[in-house]
Structure 1
Amino acid sequence: MKDAIKRELLIKYMHEQCSAAEMIQVKEFLTQPEWQQALDELLEDDFAQFTTDAVPDGLSADWNRRFKQKHILPAIQPLWRSAWLQYAAAGLLLITLGFYFFKNQISGTRQPPVMAMLEKVNPRGQRSQIILPDSSVVYLGAESKLRFPEKFGEGSREVSLTGEAFFEVAKDKKHPFIIHSGAVQTRVLGTSFKIDAFPGKIMTVSVATGKVRVDRDAGDKNKLKALAVLIPGQVVKWDEVAQTSCISQVDIQSIRDWKDGNLNFVSASLADVAETLERAYNVKITFNDSRIKNYHVTLMVNASNPLSRTLDIICNTTHLKFKGSGRSFNILKNGGR
């Protein structure tokens, strides 16, 4: 029998997953030297791959004794007469089931349950409102994704964002609310703010109410470097490529308006405006002259209006015109085709 099959059969046996026929086969084979060698190798592999905190000898021996009496000895007697093999069997199951049992015995605490994770993904042209387990509200933008637990645990409230969203966080001083956006963390206790965190783009955090702290990874997963502590009317911009940040002022009402579908552009290039509109309306916008992309505008439009009306406003402001319908539009200079 091939070594891989031997190994698989041994693992199934230790997990009590063998069929009746496989159980007879294992009991017969374990009396043979090559199967004892296969067991030795399996134990060595598991020990080599596993690391854990030191456990007091008394606790380890006591738990191992009780575990063998309950799970191992009834199954192997009188099959294995070697005391070492009995201990090895207990050791294999102990490794497979996890050494975390020892830690819980020492600390007197229970291992926290694994929380089910939920994910909301908006395609282009779609926005949504999400109520989190703590009653916080998230207005998730188009082409954006929010990942959050089905239920928050006893520690901090943590979610992950890719894209843009406006947060209205329920106040809870004992449980900070943390948003992970790539290498940046935004931490609050209870406030409202907006995050733009699209991959490859400059990330921004804009505060409408309360106080927000923004940090970034400092190269070590356990260390953070502060980017800013923001109050209402402030925005921090973080450039991941250049590794630079800056803080500036922003209109508070414009931050709040975003959740209602209002798009505010302040001295924004038409290239950036077009990219935002493409997400909001699920369309493709092109230019007949690349120089048009560098035109800058300051205006506010509502994404609930037809795109043609929005493009009318933009073109009237910049003395341009547009053509197209459906999912494709082209912005042109006057006289262009």
Structure 2
Amino acid sequence: MAKNNKNIELLDRFMRGETSPEEEQLLLEWFRNSASRDEILHFYQQRWIETSDEELPAEVQGRMFLRIKERMHEIEESQKDRETRTIKPKSSFTRFLPYAATILLCIGIFSSYLYTLKKSQVASEYTVSAEKGQRASIVLPDGTKVWLNSHTELRYKSDYGVKERNVFLNGEAYFEVSKDKEHRFVVKSGEMEVEALGTSFNVKAYNEDPDFVATLFEGSIKAGTGDDNSVILTPNQHVSLNRQSRSLTVGTSENVSYARMWRNNELAFEREKLDDIAILLNRMYNVQLEFKSDKIRNYRFSGVIKNNSLDNVIEIISLTAPIIYESHGDTIILDAKP
């Protein structure tokens, strides 16, 4: 078995692109042996059994399968290049390709089967959250990058990427989606669904807000409550879903970049009511804003605050509107200027 383990180790290194021509020649000779496939299947089956009680992170599992797919793609591209050349190379690697493709396909199918079987027996769900006053980020198994704003929760199941790439969002997040035409990427936020392929966009969908908003920066997205109530967005557009009426409103803004400035610790307002800003500051800084005067709730503010410490934000707001404030621990009291 020691010899077989050595061959398996060479196979693992080949998938990582780390083998030398001499080592590839050894693998080629092993592949010519009809027993090699059974040895490979037996080895990976045993490895899976030995780790059956361990919970492999979805990120690790996803990257395993992605690497197999990438290596298969590299092999296919090499074969295409070889077919287009007038003089065919005679390297051992070239003769090795048909065997490699077969073995990698075998591993891919077997691993995918075991992955699906194991996860169907033990349903798992992964949660990433950012509490009030915090932010977080994550790289999903397919390489998709997600940034979470304060008071946000993102969930995805352990079968992410097997059939579809579904995530469940409560809060606000910015997405940079990896391209994968075979697997849809869908963000589900209450009544709203946003489907994307190879794109970057922001979704603001807090359960306590009356509207869910999706803003597109690159690519295209389909957003709405279903096939009969959906719209296709182009870059620099945003769609708002009113949760009560379930109506969709599409708009374009010169300041569309405002929707993602929070990632850089910047605050951007475009005619925002002070009442809504108070909710935002509660999420970002975990503080309570109380109004002594109701009339100041409807004061509107526009602009960008780069140094967005809480004291700086409150000070700037008080300088641009006829209001005064007092701080008492984690509570800020706002009132109209006398």
* Residue 246 of structure 1: aligned partner: 249
- CA RMSD, 1 decimal: 1.9
Find the residue that maps to 1:259 and give its secondary structure. helix
- Whether 2:293 is the aligned partner of 1:289: answer yes
Q: CA deviation at 1:267?
A: 0.8
Q: CA deviation at 1:143?
A: 1.1
- Whether 2:320 is the aligned partner of 1:317: answer yes
Q: CA deviation at 1:249?
A: 1.1
* Residue 209 of structure 1: aligned partner: 218
Could you tell which deviates more after superposition, 311-320 or 160-169?
A: 311-320
Q: Deviations over 1:217-256 (max 9, x none)?
A: 4xxxxxx433211111101001111222211113243234
- Aligned AA for 1:189? L
Match of 2:148 among 140, 147, 163: 140
* Structure whose CA Rg is larger: 1
Checking the alignment, whether the CA contact within 8 Å between 1:127 and 1:141 is kept in structure 2 is yes
Q: CA deviation at 1:151?
A: 5.6
- Whether 2:116 is the aligned partner of 1:118: answer no
Find the residue that maps to 1:275 and give its secondary structure. helix
Q: Deviations over 1:21-53 (max 9, x none)?
A: xxxxxxxxxxxxxxxxxxxxxxxxxxxxxxxxx
Q: Aligned equivalents of 2:264 and 2:329: distance in 1?
A: 24
* Residue 68 of structure 2: aligned partner: none
Checking the alignment, whether the CA contact within 8 Å between 2:149 and 2:171 is kept in structure 1 is yes
* Residue 260 of structure 1: aligned partner: 264
- Aligned AA for 2:303? L
Question: Structure 1 200/305 Cα, relative in aligned 2: closer, same or farther at 3 Å?
Answer: closer
Q: Aligned equivalents of 1:138 and 1:161: distance in 2?
A: 11
Q: CA deviation at 1:273?
A: 0.6
Q: CA deviation at 1:325?
A: 4.3
Question: Structure 1 305/298 Cα, relative in aligned 2: closer, same or farther at 3 Å?
Answer: closer
TM-score, scaled to structure 1: 0.61
Find the residue that maps to 2:245 and give its secondary structure. coil
- Whether 2:279 is the aligned partner of 1:270: answer no
Structure 1 residues not aligned, in runs of 5+: 1-108, 218-223
Q: What does residue range 1-337 of structure 1 map to in structure 2 within 5 Å?
A: 113-114=119-120, 116-150=124-158, 152-201=160-209, 202-217=211-226, 224-250=227-253, 251-302=255-306, 305-335=308-338
Q: Aligned equivalents of 1:193 and 1:153: distance in 2?
A: 20
TM-score, scaled to structure 2: 0.61
- Aligned AA for 2:221? V
Q: How many residue pairs are counted as aligned between the two chains?
A: 220
- Aligned AA for 1:240? R
Checking the alignment, whether the CA contact within 8 Å between 2:128 and 2:153 is kept in structure 1 is yes
- Aligned AA for 1:270? L
Q: CA deviation at 1:145?
A: 0.6
Checking the alignment, whether the CA contact within 8 Å between 2:131 and 2:152 is kept in structure 1 is yes
Q: Aligned equivalents of 1:154 and 1:129: distance in 2?
A: 23
Q: Aligned equivalents of 2:167 and 2:144: distance in 1?
A: 11
Checking the alignment, whether the CA contact within 8 Å between 2:258 and 2:269 is kept in structure 1 is no
Q: Aligned equivalents of 2:257 and 2:152: distance in 1?
A: 22
Sequence identity percentage: 28
Q: Aligned equivalents of 1:230 and 1:315: distance in 2?
A: 37
